[in-house]
Copies of this chain bind each other. A is one copy, B any other.
Amino acid sequence: MSGMKTNPGNFFEDFTVGQVIDHATPRTVTEGDRALYGAIYPTRFALPSSAEFAASVGLAQHPVEELVGFHIAFGKTVPDVSLNAVANLGYAECRFHVPVVPGDTLRTRSEVIGLKENSNGRTGVVWVRSTATNQRGEVAIDWARWVMVHKRSSDSPAPETVVPTLASAVAPEDLVVPAGLDFSAYDRVAAGSPHLLDDYEVGERIDHVDGVTLTDAEHMMATRLWQNTAKVHFSTEVRPDGRRLVYGGHVISLARALSFNGLANAQLVAAINAGAHVAPAFAGDTVHAWSEVLDTVVLDAPGLGALRLRLVATKGRDESMTLRRDDPSTGSGQAAYADGVLLDLDYWAFVPR
């Protein structure tokens, strides 16, 4: 016998800048994942729904939704990065490179790119840049993320503070257009919306209308599918209130799926610029979503444009589509969010122009 067999996770002291972690559990994506994603989220985007549609826009294979890959890749980092996390503080610079298709096997590697002990001496912030690759070694997704992690001991000395510089948004010229993607013969009838890039204006807000009431069975199934086994999502014994915390990524996927109603042509997620899980969600909450158009750009690819969107998930419908009570126009991570805001996500999507 050689000591502890179960994973205690890493504490703040276990991280050093430059450290590289190869995460466990390579995972092969299958058509079963596509089906479950469609059973758990009310998605109707034509491209991941239909192999014929994907072929009609130039893709050699039929990708799953970008968030399938993201959740799988992200889930691998949890046992090493955030098992002892107090909070997920943010995402940045997430880009989707080679589309993920059934048969691909994803692995994730992370590099620690920043450390900062908190003044309380009991926790610190860890920044990592993670890269998911497929079985051919091609980058599928990469992103930066920072989490607040417990120290093992408040007596441990603080490391040198390194705070990485992260872009507030992925620049449009850095978006990766999937090989072959061509929206010049895009079928808007099949896609379910006539609206092209030019139909959206910066500052426009879209109430996605529909709502979904959460159940424990569904969020647990989703979270397991991504092999994210943080126990707070699965056991009623962890929180004092006996509730199972919904994985933040579940709210992202739910809001993204709800956004179909108003953004049906925002077919692919190209990048995630920033994201904040503003409040916890639980079974019984009814999740709604609204979007704000932050930017519109024409891309140098046939028929392609991109929308930069703020996607806001709320508990209960927020017909006023505001983020905060006193000043709806600023909703940065520092803002005081209105009650009921669950998620504030900033991302790029490819759309036809």
Contact = CB atoms under 8 A, between A and B. Distances in A.
A263 interface: yes
Contact of A24 (B30, B35, B190, B201): B190
Interface residues of A, number: 80
A213 B243 CA distance: 10
Interface in A282-325: 284, 286, 316-317
Nearest to A80: B192
A111 interface: no
Contacts of A236: 213, 284, 286
A54 to B, nearest CB: 9
A292 to B, nearest CB: 12
Interface string A31-51: 111111011111010100111
Nearest to A219: B217
Given A5-B193, A192-B79, A217-B217, A26 B39 contact: no
Interface in A4-40: 5-7, 22, 24-28, 30-36, 38-40
Given A25-B44, A35-B225, 15 more contacts: A1-B204, A2-B199, A5-B262, A6-B209, A25-B50, A28-B49, A28-B50, A32-B33, A35-B35, A42-B234, A51-B105, A79-B192, A107-B190, A213-B216, A217-B217
